[in-house]
Structure 1
């Protein structure tokens, strides 16, 4: 993977940060993006990555970023949000925000970068989905729907691009120890008269997990799916 150009969305913290660190260790030419300058600057300083602020829900910002970066060999669509609320309190604005961030952003980045991958005869695309993309849970209707959609997008695109030497795979982690998981648990706690710790315990029990996953575990799988010798495509790997 040395000198392969990799772009990671949501690369400033959590799973995206872990993937960025792992890819940097492999010698990738790394680009990371998110909406949070402070996080990006820290990760870039520590990994040598290039970074840019980008709102992944805005096509014009994505277009400008892709033109600036140039050809990309590895795309990791990691940017995502997990807003939680009872269904009856989930408004259309929230629904659209979650869908735009978690699904439409992957579509837009692929639309921008896949033509170049086809032209060069090589590409690796990894979409960070969720176990919620295979089975839902209470209070996350928008999030679960977005991850189901991302899996459908991934498997369909994989079939289309397989003859072009471009692989498309998804990773479906359970609950991972990230700032997003903990803030989501805090939001659920407010609506259920529980503590965040109790919410996490309940979520883990529902998912059959003994503890929160480490982001590095997800990063290792993303790395394997991004290597030159990876032949898997269309997979949705549970963690």
Structure 2
């Protein structure tokens, strides 16, 4: 029977690339997000991908997703907590509501994504949990304090779960990309251009230069790393925050 994976934030960017890579490897994939139209467009690219709307910040929504998807396609063997968002502002201008919203999506959402799978995976003594974190979980960046705090939290959550589950055969890891060429990056560029008056070209060049290879990470690079972590040859890899950044962090 085909393995079953959950990929949150699967309607675009990195989530889409991961879902397609898993599906092309013969894995049944449930993708979720808030926009059904985007999810269905990804689902149309591979018949193994199934779209379900859900809100990672809402525990009941995630429990309902689990119930629906597992009834249709069996228990989740792979969980990829990918959903996230980022806004840019000096720390002193970040409102408490904005702080909470960023942590809700990036950190609490990651926890609510994996929590329903933990007991069953441990009982089966098999499973793969992968968090899509960021180099922001390994170092600091200015003007994105809530995002940096949240992604550091995701890396900490990963390490805690890896320690809890090490004896069960369930592995827990994080991939930590640098700037990835996605719609989220384009929104960040637009925000910087609007606030600083810099050109799009100058802004993109400045962001790309954070990578010693002087380029943006591509979504398929992250998808390939996730696919490897899901394989049997990665069964001893757990508790790791894997930097995908061209040498920016390690």
**Given the two structures, how large is their TM-score scaled by the length of structure 2?**
0.92
C-alpha distance in 1 between matches for 2:69 and 2:18: 19
What is the rounded CA distance, in whole Å, between the counterparts of 1:225 and 1:91 in structure 2?
Answer: 37
The corresponding residue for 1:38 is 37
Provide Cα deviations, 1:183-233, integer angstroms capped at 9, x if missing partner: 012112222222333222212223434111110000000000011332200
Tell me which residue corresponds to 1:18: 17
Q: For structure 2, which runs of at least 5 residues remain unmatched after alignment?
A: 245-250
* 2:111 corresponds to 1:107: yes
User: In structure 2, what is the equivalent of residue 64 of structure 1?
Assistant: 64
State the secondary structure of the residue aligned to 2:56: coil
1:149 alignment partner in structure 2: 153
Aligned match for 1:233, one of 234, 238, 249: 238
Which 4+ stretches in 1 moved above 4 angstroms?
none
CA distance in structure 1 between the aligned counterparts of 2:42 and 2:237, rounded to whole angstroms: 29
Give the secondary-structure state (helix, strand or coil) at the position aligned to 1:79. Answer: coil
Q: Does structure 1 conserve the Cα–Cα contact (< 8 Å) formed by 2:209 and 2:215?
A: no
Give the Cα–Cα distance (whole angstroms) in 2 for the partners of residues 76 and 10 of structure 1: 9
Indicate the SS of the match to 2:209: helix
Supply the distance in 1 between the matched residues of 2:191 and 2:204 (Cα, whole angstroms). 11
Range with bigger deviation, 227-236 or 74-83: 227-236
Q: Which residue of 2 aligns with 1:183?
A: 187
Aligned-residue offset at 1:97: 0.9
For the 8 Å contact 2:135–2:176, the answer to whether it is kept is yes
Mapped to 1, the partners of 2:212 and 2:142 lie a distance apart of 15
Unpaired stretches in structure 1, ≥5 consecutive residues: none
The 5-angstrom pairing of residues 73-152 of structure 1 reads 73-152=77-156
What residue in structure 2 maps to residue 217 of structure 1?
221
Count of residues in Structure 1 that have an aligned counterpart in Structure 2:
238
Once residues 145 and 45 of structure 2 are traced to their aligned partners in structure 1, the CA distance between those partners, rounded to angstroms, is 36
> Does the 8 A contact of 1:186 with 1:195 survive in 2?
no
* Counterpart Cα distance in 1 of 2:199 and 2:130: 34
Tell me which moved more, 201-210 or 155-164: 201-210
Q: Displacement, 1:72?
A: 0.5
Q: 2:7 aligns to what?
A: 8
